[in-house]
Amino acid sequence: MRETMRRSAMATVAMLALVAAGGAARGQEPATVVGPDELLAAHNAWAGSIEHVWSRAALMLNFPTGRKDGRRERHDLDGHFFLDKPDRLFIHGQMLGQDVFTVGQNPERFWLWIRPGVNTVWVGRRGGKGEKDFILSPSDLMRACGMVPIELAADAAAEVVAGRTHYVLTEQRRVGPDRMPWRRTWFDRRTLRPVRVDLFDEVGRRLVMAELLKYERVGQTDVCTVYRARFYGDEEVALVLRLSKVSLDKQPNPRVFEYRLPPGAKERDLDAPAPSTPES
């Protein structure tokens, strides 16, 4: 594996009703189009109702080894998924009862540990360059889960497209004279729940594509329990999460969100200064 894994108000809202172009049956009446304000209000009310998540998780992780032959590794693991808003996330996977994979963040730090083959922890500070360049950033993963409220700044640009089965909200940012996509969210037109989230970098390249494949009712709240995500950088990392025994009332132990170096693991600080080059 590589040493460093790389990688409210709308100022502009266009509602484009593309029901017919989306493939509606001839003569069928299109469904009522929900306005952008109503769409965001419904999403934010749902997302705001989820403060924390405690669940078991089955994980599939597929990542490059960095070898010249292009070999990849796949691991199928059992563990947990813990979320504590606004900015705490922890996922771990086990093999034969021992942790071999963790990814997490708190307000100060983020980290990823992979034991098989490398036994290495990549760690960095929140908001630093290391987090920005990291291919499996926990902050990207948290946003890709779709449970984050969408708050648009007064000068933000966004576009909502109404298709036959989905609304597509594209949040944009200005790069010089151009506007580039920042986050694109697909919402099911019937439930108004997110079913796909794409994240982009500063020049409009896709960083993450996450599909929210299955929702289940937990108490009075719909919760996505199956995620399939791809993280893009120099190479591609795939992650599938299947949640079970989900609780929105059981708060995760705060200690799981504390960074600890696993015994024997190598630490790679992504925000450490580059080593100086000796003068010749």
**Residue 81: pLDDT band with limits 50, 70, 90:** very high
Residue 39, domain member (yes or no): yes
Residue 270, domain member (yes or no): no
Classify the C-alpha dihedral 90-108-171-173 as positive or negative. negative
Whether 187 shows a pLDDT value over 70: the answer reads yes
Q: Say how many residues make up the chain.
A: 280
Residue 126, domain member (yes or no): yes
- Range with top average pLDDT, 1-15, 26-40, 84-98: 84-98
Q: Which structural domain, as residue segments, surrounds residue 44?
A: 15-23+32-246
Q: Measuring CA to CA, how many Å separate 146 from each of 25, 64, 77, 139, 198?
A: 30, 26, 23, 12, 10
| pLDDT (0 to 100) of residue 17 | 39
Which range has the worst mean pLDDT, 105-109, 148-152, 224-228? 148-152
* Best CA proximity match to 240, nearest among 25, 77, 68: 77
Q: What is the pTM of this model?
A: 0.85
Whether 74 shows a pLDDT value over 80: the answer reads yes
Domains held by the chain: number = 1
Counting Cα atoms < 13 Å in the Cβ hemisphere of 147 gives 25
Whether 21 shows a pLDDT value over 60: the answer reads no
Is 7 within 8 Å of 18 (Cβ atoms)?
Answer: no
Residue 95, domain member (yes or no): yes
Residue 38, domain member (yes or no): yes
Residue 266, domain member (yes or no): no
Residue 115, domain CATH: 2.50.20.10
